[in-house]
A and B are shown apart, each in its own frame.
Chain A
Amino acid sequence: MNGLLNPAELDALRLSLAVAARSVAFSLPLAVLIAWVLTRTRFFGRMLLDAFVHLPLVLPPVAVGYTLLLLFGARGPIGGWLRAHFGIELAFTTAGAALATAVMTFPLLVRAIRLSLDNVDPGLEAAARTLGAGPVDRFFSVTLPLMLPGVLAGAVTAFAAGLGEFGAVITFAANIPGVTRTLPLALYTAMQSPHGDAMALHLAGLSFLLGLLGLLAAELLVRRVRRLVGR
């Protein structure tokens, strides 16, 4: 690979993988929770929460990035608080790029998990109840294992999509080489520079390859896990 990619390209690839991985790792538990709430509970404002979760699908990514900047920027209400209490900086950092990616891929994750949760028979959960399992126990011993195929498929798809998140990342985390310049940002930069054609081609090809691999991996994983949990 070293022969094929120059150090800048390699950096972008490494950074993209790291950002996508962190984004999925942080958003997965929350996505499972939100999917469960949306599927298994009835409360006032459920539709509003549903719509809110899906907003990044329909908003311009730049608008999402700008909103993040307003909220999580150094002077934003959340960003300022995080900085004062924990010394955490999100804007213009790798962590910030991961946050922007997480927000953008969140709907994908929630949708995949909800689909799998819809397929879990509530009758099995009722049976677990009669066998003495409380709510948390029930979730981890019955519900989660049965929705695992969907959770993993969602995670891999969100990871593959996260590798290529552009608008929100560049708006919130800027385009800093080695810090926030992920694959699509490097590709964009290469296209803007006078002698970047070869690099742009490389990076575009790489993105195709990664996307394809991600989708195939998701499918294979789902099949294996489905067999494992007997569905």
Chain B
Amino acid sequence: MLRISVLKRRADFTLQAAFAAPTPGVTALFGRSGSGKTTLVDIISGLLPPDEGEVRLGETLLTDTKQAVSVPVERRRIGYVFQDPRLFPHLSVEGNLRYGARRAAAATPVIVFDEVVSLLGLGALLQRRPQGLSGGEKQRVSLGRALLSQPQLLLLDEPLGSLDVARRQEVLPYLEALRDRLSIPMVYVSHEFEEVLRLATHLVLLDAGRVVAEGTVTEMSLRPELRSIVGPELAGSVVEGVVTAVNATAGIADVTVGSGTLRVSLRDAVPGTHLRLQLLARDVILATRAIDGLSVRNAVCGAIAEISADVENTVLVSVDIGGAIVLSRITRAALAALRLHTGQPVWALMKAVSLRGHAFRAPVRPESTRPEPPSRSPS
């Protein structure tokens, strides 16, 4: 467990944040630019001393202003992947990769050079100089360099932030593979919800220097704090389920979510795969009875758990589909016309193509309490 509780005053804003990140696992620090995410990871790394507070990783006290404890950065064994790759220009790719490895105190490295090279696809780059690499390649080298320093925690500060969309899609699968294959706890800073959706096992929401909520991605997806960060367009619930059947020719997979089954447009899924699905509230239609003759592939029966005000003249209706929650955004006019109320049974209709699925591999780590390491992401 990484526990942090710190105060840092800056000229224009104050960071006062406390959270506990389960280890191993990927904890995402999510918030708008300027919400204090980078300041927080800088404090965890030791590069920035907090004004007050403490940072504790497992049994080790890293920072405690009360006891005047501050372990120097170079002895924390915390890897840091910065937004810019920060590769050493005077060293080759291999020299960069081995820089931290040489200085790692561990007699027997847990993370082996060859494994990192193959995991990150760096074999062909080893003799190259950093200057000649693409942005995505540089960031992969930076990632490998941090890993090979045998860190007990890996900090990633928007590692995809300096890359264009195509390069991001190139690096993301490597990050997923990393999380699934190596059991290094990670703190991942991002302001892109897609990255959180694909990588995070624990989510900490930051706003204006404060932690406004934390929990699993599913829990957080139902919170207004998250909606206020991602904006109304991306409001929706995140549910987790298991693939039970696959129709490869139709490109459709059956996914058990709660007590119902959703049909999801998904290729290459294998039965038994854990999935994380994002159900956008704007894509979910509500009906008070079963309706025939629609192209909509999914109609799941549930009960209205809550009705809350949403942007402009709309409301968000939470439907409990037996252990999982689906959010639907409807107009106040529709709410009145259908006379919807809490506890009422309704049908939630979702097009198979509007469900975004991210495949999860079955959990392999014994220590892990939450079964959610995704490995691939067909969409």
Contacts and interface: CB of A to CB of B under 8 A. Distances in A.
B82 interface: yes
Interface of A: 121, 123-124, 126-134, 137-138, 141-142, 145-146, 228-231
Contacts of A126: 47, 73, 86
Nearest to A127: B86
Nearest to B99: A131
B374 interface: no
B103 A131 contact: yes
B86 A123 contact: yes
B47 A131 contact: no
Contact of A128 (B72, B76, B78, B99): B99
A128 B87 CA distance: 10
Contacts of B145: 131
Contacts of A230: 89-90, 129-131
A138 B47 CA distance: 15
7 contacts: A127-B80, A128-B88, A131-B74, A131-B149, A132-B149, A228-B90, A231-B89
A132 B76 CA distance: 8
B86 A129 contact: no
A127 B103 CA distance: 13
B255 to A, nearest CB: 40
Contacts of B100: 131-132
Nearest 5 interchain pairs by C-beta: A131-B100, A132-B103, A230-B89, A229-B90, A130-B80
Given A126-B47, A128-B99, A230-B129, A146 B146 contact: no
Contacts of A134: 72, 74
Contact of A146 (B47, B90, B131): B90
Contact of B47 (A129, A229, A231): A129
Interface in B32-83: 45, 47, 72-80, 82
B86 A124 contact: yes
Identify the interface centre among B103, B145, B149: most chain A CB within 10 Å of its CB. B103
A132 B86 contact: no
B213 interface: no
Interface residues of B, number: 28
Contact of B82 (A127, A132, A146): A127
Given A124-B86, A129-B74, 9 more contacts: A123-B86, A126-B86, A130-B74, A130-B79, A131-B100, A132-B104, A133-B103, A229-B89, A230-B131
A130 B47 contact: yes
A129 B73 contact: yes
A80 B100 CA distance: 50
A135 B84 CA distance: 22
Contacts of B82: 123, 127
Contacts of A127: 80, 82, 86, 88
A134 B86 CA distance: 18
A132 B131 CA distance: 23
Contact of A142 (B47, B88, B105, B129): B88
B74 A133 contact: yes
A229 B84 CA distance: 19
A164 to B, nearest CB: 34
Nearest to A134: B74
A191 to B, nearest CB: 48
A129 B48 CA distance: 12
Interface string B97-130: 0011001110000000000000000000000011
A120 to B, nearest CB: 10
Contact of B90 (A123, A132, A145): A145
A224 B89 CA distance: 15
A123 B84 contact: yes
A228 to B, nearest CB: 8
Nearest to B149: A131
A26 B114 CA distance: 45
Nearest to A228: B90
A123 B77 CA distance: 18
Nearest to B132: A230
Interface string B153-190: 00000000000000000000000000000000000000
Contacts of A121: 86
A123 B90 CA distance: 15
A138 B105 CA distance: 16
Contacts of B105: 132
A128 B47 CA distance: 11
Identify the interface centre among A123, A129, A134, A231: most chain B CB within 10 Å of its CB. A129
Nearest to A129: B73
A148 to B, nearest CB: 8
Nearest to A126: B47
Identify the interface centre among A126, A137, A138, A230: most chain B CB within 10 Å of its CB. A230
Contacts of B77: 132
Contacts of A146: 89-90
A101 to B, nearest CB: 31
B121 to A, nearest CB: 21
B46 to A, nearest CB: 8
Contacts of B129: 230
A130 B90 contact: no
A133 B103 CA distance: 7
Given A131-B149, A133-B103, A124 B88 contact: yes
A227 to B, nearest CB: 10
